[in-house]
Structure 1
Amino acid sequence: MERLADALDGINRGLARGVRWIVVAMVLIQFAIVIGRYVFGVNSIAAQESVLYLHAAFFMLAGGYTLLVDKHVRVDVFYAHLSPRAKRRIDIFGHLFLLMPSMLALLYWSWPSVRNSWKILEGPMSVGGIEAVFLMKSLIPAFCVLVMLQSVAILIRLLRSPGTP
């Protein structure tokens, strides 16, 4: 089971190594947009939308990695002061009854929109924009799957660790 958890971790680690370059591209494109607009008086809707697409891709594809490295949002007003055993119980409960059902619901409810977007190859959000809204919408199920895979890896480790309730 540990090998399965490691393999699932590897998916998000590998993806994170590639996705981090999206931030570099995003900064460079935004810099070019600013220079183009204020120095040369040139503007491009497609270039502006590309920053939006890259931003969406970065955050949606890095969701599983964020969970892996434990940098996700956590309300630890009480959690920080609990024993390791109590933290493990809360983590197991959270993964099984909050995170997984939320991801499944998001996947279920977003799928018709994603499917329809692919069916018509949904075009740009703005006139002159990038003709690939269907690709951006595809980030939603990708996010759900990556977070659920990472959640399974974490659950495997939580349930195999000593002192599990």
Structure 2
Amino acid sequence: MKSYSPLVLLTGALLTSIAVAQAASPLTLTLGQALVKAVTVDGKATEQLAPDPKNVRPGDVLSQMVTARNMGSKALTNVTVRLPVPKGTTYLKAETAMNTAASGAKAEYSIDGGKTYAAAPLTKMVTVTENGKSVKKEVEVKPSEYTNVRWMLARIDAGKDLKVGFRVQVN
């Protein structure tokens, strides 16, 4: 079974985060990654996060979290954080941090490499054949087709941070 370095998977994501952070000087973005492991504790199935895994294998699930920290002395409003789904992985679901929901953070998704975004569920037009005729239909996009995620953070108070992220599975 082939194993990958998570660093290779995250290169594009990290570059995007750095570019966004430099555009808003009091804002720092830190990308973290952890391997999600299923473990049993006291007879109960639970998850354990192993930060900064050295190698990952096909089928492994990774948690990717971006910490957006306001290092300034004034609140930041209408902050946008973009993160591509790393190549070699498939988007699974959003990650939530306790402070994110209360912040009014809104997520939007892209299926075209970050050119356009919309709130889930996304739809697309497809051409199908029905009764011998080509017909255009609108269908719901599966989350596994997402290529990018964008969060709009309404407000980050001075000296505070918010975490946003998602889980992916290594192909």
Q: Which one has more relative contact order, counting CA pairs under 8 Å at least 6 apart?
A: 1
Specify which structure has the higher proportion of strand.
2
Same fold (TM over 0.5): no
TM range (shorter): under 0.3
Specify which structure has the higher proportion of helix.
1
**Pair member with larger Rg:** 1
TM-score, structure 1 as length reference: 0.24
